[in-house]
């Protein structure tokens, strides 16, 4: 298993007063090697068909967004002999959310060179132990000659939490081009092909989740633990409730009413149905009614939002359109989910007739 680097200080190559300098942010991060990232995705793929089984010891991990009460109710309702634990050596099954994991690897950032947002991915990273930097005379000369206040840089480099200093290979090369003396710093470390994962400042749950993810592949390999995906558990819990054309129309009318209780009830029905079997109708409702795309305290419904939003299936119409027109919905569905168009057409027919307050349109034919 590849080594995963933790508590690293991420740096940025910046020109200051005509000199190429090593500047940094107070931001600790991790590096996960490319091979480990691939292994995590492989684990997820191999777990697609896994189900919860009787007589097992289960851990609902920090990588799961399944509400605890849903899991508890499922175990009770089905009279399963399932116990829960939190330590790897005591469990045989761990529950994770593949969408939640994907979000760690799909961070976007502003690229000042390209002047646009780009998705972070695998990069060549130069990793230098901070001790090697602090013991290097030329690096100390660089610190001494730097004309900006050094409090941030000195604090982050000398912090006991900061074990390594990292910089992207292409940015390091720019620094060497501007100041050949930096070439000697590169030999103090190593080049790693991987991706940085950032901890959120001041958020212990997210920090713990990040740590759990980075140890995840190693623990799966060491303890031979069975993986269950949130989506599999949720489908089992919601098994039997399927949204069809008739239910869609009832939900449409509930969401189209002025009674807020109807709206909340509709959300709960959507959250508790078999997603895969009901997918076209959920997609239609989610994009026709902007209120369904707003943030909510309903943890059960948040699972549906996570599946449909931009970080997963990306079947979420842009918020700037408000209530989208028929033309926009049709082009959007054609681009994002063409395989669902056949089942979506009756939904759009019903939607148009409701807007027109008639039943003139019977069918939409695509060519």
pLDDT per position as a tens digit, 285-314? 998 998 888 888 887 888 888 888 866 677
Residue 236: predicted pLDDT: 85
Q: Which residue has the higher pLDDT, 92 or 329?
A: 92
Task: Quickly list H helices, 129-203.
Answer: 130-134, 137-145, 151-158, 169-178, 183-186
Give the range among 64-78, 110-124, 313-327 with minimum mean pLDDT. Answer: 313-327
Q: Are 94 and 59 in contact (CB under 8 A)?
A: yes
DSSP state of 225: P
Provide the CA 295 distance to its chain's centre, in angstroms: 16
β-strand pairing of 123-129 with 164-168: antiparallel
3-state helix, strand, coil in the chain (%, to 5): 50, 20, 30
DSSP state of 190: E
In the numeric block, the tokens 């995590």 are attached to 40
Q: Are 351 and 286 in contact (CB under 8 A)?
A: no
Res 242 pLDDT > 50: yes
Res 19 pLDDT > 50: no
The helix or strand, by DSSP H or E, that contains position 109, with its residue range, turns out to be strand 108-111
- Say what percent of the chain tops pLDDT 70: 78
* pTM for the model: 0.69
Q: Which residue has the higher pLDDT, 14 or 130?
A: 130
Q: Tokens representing 36? A: 């480990």
The helix or strand, by DSSP H or E, that contains position 59, with its residue range, turns out to be strand 56-60
- The neighbour count for residue 216, using CB atoms within 10 Å, is 24
Q: Are 52 and 230 in contact (CB under 8 A)?
A: no
Q: Tokens representing 13? A: 């190559």
Provide the CA 315 distance to its chain's centre, in angstroms: 15
Mention every residue, 6+ apart, whose C-beta is less than 8 A from residue 263: 254, 255, 257, 291
The helix or strand, by DSSP H or E, that contains position 123, with its residue range, turns out to be strand 123-129
Residue 98: predicted pLDDT: 87
Residue 147: predicted pLDDT: 46
Res 57 pLDDT > 80: yes
What is the rounded CA–CA span in Å between residue 297 and residue 346?
Answer: 31
Res 114 pLDDT > 80: no
Mention every residue, 6+ apart, whose C-beta is less than 8 A from residue 211: 6
Sheet of 93-96, strands arranged across: 82-84, 56-60, 93-96, 226-229
In the numeric block, the tokens 């409090």 are attached to 151
Q: Are 44 and 227 in contact (CB under 8 A)?
A: yes
What is the rounded CA–CA span in Å between residue 312 and residue 304?
Answer: 11
Domain spans of the chain? Answer: 1-230, 238-356
Angle at which helix 275-288 crosses helix 299-308, to 10 degrees, equals 80
Q: How confident is the model at residue 229 (pLDDT cuts 50, 70, 90)?
A: very high
Q: Tokens representing 8? A: 């690293």
Residue 146: predicted pLDDT: 53
- The neighbour count for residue 308, using CB atoms within 10 Å, is 22
- Maximum separation of any 2 CA atoms in the chain, in Å: 82
Q: How confident is the model at residue 15 (pLDDT cuts 50, 70, 90)?
A: very low
């Amino acid at each position: 298993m590849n080594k995963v680097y933790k508590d690293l200080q991420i740096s940025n190559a910046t020109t200051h007063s005509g000199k190429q300098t090593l500047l940094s942010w107070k931001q600790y991060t991790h590096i996960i090697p490319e091979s480990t990232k691939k292994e995590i995705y492989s684990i997820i793929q191999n777990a697609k068909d896994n189900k919860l089984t009787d007589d097992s010891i289960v851990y609902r991990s920090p990588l799961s967004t399944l509400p605890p009460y849903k899991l508890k109710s499922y175990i009770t309702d089905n009279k399963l002999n399932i116990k829960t634990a939190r330590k790897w050596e005591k469990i045989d099954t761990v529950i994770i959310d593949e969408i939640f994991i994907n979000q760690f690897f799909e961070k976007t950032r502003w690229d000042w060179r390209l002047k646009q947002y780009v998705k972070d991915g695998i990069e060549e990273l130069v990793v230098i132990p901070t001790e090697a930097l602090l013991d290097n005379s030329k690096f100390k000369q660089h610190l001494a000659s730097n004309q900006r206040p050094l409090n941030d840089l000195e604090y982050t480099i000398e912090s006991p939490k900061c074990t390594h200093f990292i910089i992207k290979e292409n940015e390091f090369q720019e620094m060497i081009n501007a100041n050949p003396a930096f070439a000697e710093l590169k030999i103090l470390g190593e080049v790693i092909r991987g991706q940085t994962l950032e901890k959120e400042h001041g958020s212990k749950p997210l920090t713990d989740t990040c740590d759990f993810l980075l140890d995840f592949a190693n623990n799966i390999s060491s303890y031979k633990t069975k993986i269950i995906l949130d989506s599999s558990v949720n489908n089992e819990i919601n098994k039997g409730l399927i949204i069809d054309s008739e239910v869609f129309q009832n939900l449409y009318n509930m969401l189209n009413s002025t009674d807020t209780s109807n709206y909340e009830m509709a959300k709960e029905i959507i959250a508790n149905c078999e997603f895969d079997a009901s997918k076209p109708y959920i997609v239609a409702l989610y994009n026709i009614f902007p209120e369904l795309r707003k943030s909510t305290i309903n943890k059960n419904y948040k699972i549906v939002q996570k599946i449909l939003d931009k970080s997963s299936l990306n079947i979420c119409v842009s918020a700037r359109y408000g209530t989208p027109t028929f033309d926009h919905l049709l082009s959007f569905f054609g681009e994002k989910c063409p395989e669902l168009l056949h089942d979506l057409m009756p939904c759009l027919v019903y939607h148009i007739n409701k807007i027109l307050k008639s039943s003139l349109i019977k069918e939409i034919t695509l060519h």
